[in-house]
Amino acid sequence: MRNWSVGISVMVLTLIFIIRYEQSDHKLPTNHTVDDASIEGESVQEPAKKKPHFMTLEDLDYLFSNKRFYGEEEDDELNNGFLVWSRMRPFIERPDALPETAQGIEEATLAMKDLVFLIYKEKRASSSDMVSKEIRRNCPGFVAAFDGDLSGLRPVLELPCGLIEGSSITLVGIPDVHSRSFQVQLVGSGEARRPIILCYNVNFSKPFLVQNTWTEKLGWGNEVRCPLHGLVKNQIVDDLPLCNEQTDRIVLEESSNEDAVMDLVIGNADFPFLKGSPFTATLWTGLEGFHMTVNGRHETSFAYKEKLGPWLVSAVKVSGGLKLLSASATRLPVTDDHAFLPIEEKLKAPPLSGTRIALLVGVFSTGNNFKRRMALRRTWMQYEAVRSRKVAVRFIIGLHTNVKVNLEMWREAKAYGDIQFMPFVDYYGLLSLKTVALCILGTKVIPAKYIMKTDDDAFVRIDELLSSLQEKPSNALLYGLISFDSSPDREQGSKWYIRKEEWPLDSYPPWAHGPGYIISHDIAKFVVKSHRQRDLRLFKLEDVAMGMWIQQYNHIVERVTYINDKRFHNSGCKSNYILVHYQTPRLILCLWEKLQKESQIVCCQ
């Protein structure tokens, strides 16, 4: 009886929500990735493309309007994760917005709608005792497919929660004896024409390997071809060359006679793939790019392209002249089971007191970095100053394009209360919007004397930082590892490449390195106010952008203090640190243990 009434009330509420949404001149919600029986009956049409619609808190309220269903308590949880969301609107809708903004907002709006559908679906399933395993196990740590499952066009592997640094995909197969080529593709999620985050093409005609990306908007990117053709010879990704030297040698031995080339291929062990011979190929994700190992030898590397990071991958496709024997992916992002297990009280963010705190730390993170966030919660977020609310730590996260990742983040936000969602998808080019969001958070929501920006792979010694801050000015301060004399990277293709239109001058003003810097409250206030008045430019490198904004502040106040401290390490670790960067979750736990058990400020390797 009870189940019945819950089911009906869900249907009624869903209908009300659809009607209200229709009336409010918004795009109708569609079930992009979720099939929901109660929606499928409706005839839903995609309206023509409009200017991206910023989803306001009011819109979110529509989506979550259903207090009777969720209960007041969950409604608060909703609001807790969206404290900056609606305040971001004026900063996002400016005409000189960063290039990725429109796409970022549009995709986030769709992602939010998909998420609401999934939450409805889950609630309904659990209230009618049909809790499905599929919903519970959103993010598997390992997926595999063997022989029988591997035919046809559908992806050979689905990766619902993307890849993280250290994930790997292993394919075992045999190129056909008459194969001309075969391809492995890592595709993203989203609309019908999914982006290709890596297309790996093995071509036997020459032979060569080609790596590239594809998006609907930009088409194919700049390919990397092995054997290399001169030019980019010395480029490295995560300390690895773009192509294996032995593969490169094929070019030198190459003959103009096609038959001779064919003989060479079949008999030449220097090309990693041989027709008719089984291979084991492992594609793994580093910090900077994808790497391919074939039969135990590193063959190729490919730097991640902007907006096409490994976290966006949602499936592996294989095509061409190849018999695939097995495919598997391991070390995928998994979550703690926050939704179903009791949460340790000490891991939850202490409630806000409302009074001004000493320090707010904003940790820039991204959707599927579940492990990294848990590592911080268990380590430096346990400092007494954090537990006693003198310091607050919040993760600043954009939405993901995959609904399952968003659902996991949603659960995580509810469980720990330390996540602030951004109204856009987490593209690298939008990082400085997060910086603005952090300034809003530290001035309007959690007022703090100092505001710090850091990353989810950094370890911060909060105690040492606080005592160090004690003797620093309370106003007009930038504190961290400061670059006083640096210039824009004009090398096309570099991750830091800056066009003249973005920054015409030959040097940057002083700026502090992104893994960890601290600003005083007045600077944050200035940043928020001046952005609202559009007096400040947006710039895609968030740490340099902060330096530019502070320089402008300095024109007004003429007394900004820049304090450089070499104990902030922006790459790697050195003992007696305040902050270290590029630390894996395992290293973060190790650093904490060394501090706790041995009172030693030393690195772990």
- Residues at the site binding ligand NAG, with contacts judged by CB under 6 A: 30-31, 35, 40, 44, 181, 201, 203, 205-206
Distance of CA 498 to the CA centre of its chain: 22
Least distance to ligand NAG from the beta carbon of 26, Å? 16
Residue whose CB is less far from ligand NAG, 30 or 86: 30
- 322 contacts 171 by C-beta, under 8 angstroms: no
Residue whose CB is less far from ligand NAG, 300 or 379: 300
Least distance to ligand NAG from the beta carbon of 30, Å? 4
Least distance to ligand NAG from the beta carbon of 31, Å? 4
Least distance to ligand NAG from the beta carbon of 42, Å? 7
Token pair in block for residue 121: 């679906």
Least distance to ligand NAG from the beta carbon of 360, Å? 41
Q: Distance between CA 452 and CA 50 in Å, rounded?
A: 37
Residue whose CB is less far from ligand NAG, 114 or 299: 114
DSSP SS3 for 374 = helix
Residue whose CB is less far from ligand NAG, 42 or 248: 42
* Count of Cβ atoms closer than 10 Å to residue 450 Cβ: 24
Least distance to ligand NAG from the beta carbon of 203, Å? 4
- 200 contacts 209 by C-beta, under 8 angstroms: yes
Handedness of CA 53, 54, 56, 60 (dihedral sign): positive
Residue whose CB is less far from ligand NAG, 43 or 388: 43
Q: Distance between CA 212 and CA 226 in Å, rounded?
A: 12
Residue whose CB is less far from ligand NAG, 111 or 603: 111
- 596 contacts 459 by C-beta, under 8 angstroms: no
Least distance to ligand NAG from the beta carbon of 315, Å? 14
Residue whose CB is less far from ligand NAG, 205 or 255: 205
Residue whose CB is less far from ligand NAG, 14 or 520: 14
Least distance to ligand NAG from the beta carbon of 221, Å? 15
Token pair in block for residue 573: 């670790």
- 359 contacts 474 by C-beta, under 8 angstroms: no
Longest dimension (CA), the chain: 80
Contacts of 113 (CB under 8 A, 6+ apart): 29, 30, 32, 63
Distance of CA 350 to the CA centre of its chain: 26
* Count of Cβ atoms closer than 10 Å to residue 132 Cβ: 11
- Residue nearest ligand NAG (C-beta atom): 203
- 305 contacts 100 by C-beta, under 8 angstroms: no
Q: Tell me the angle at which helices 101-127 and 403-416 cross, rounded to the nearest 10 degrees.
A: 70
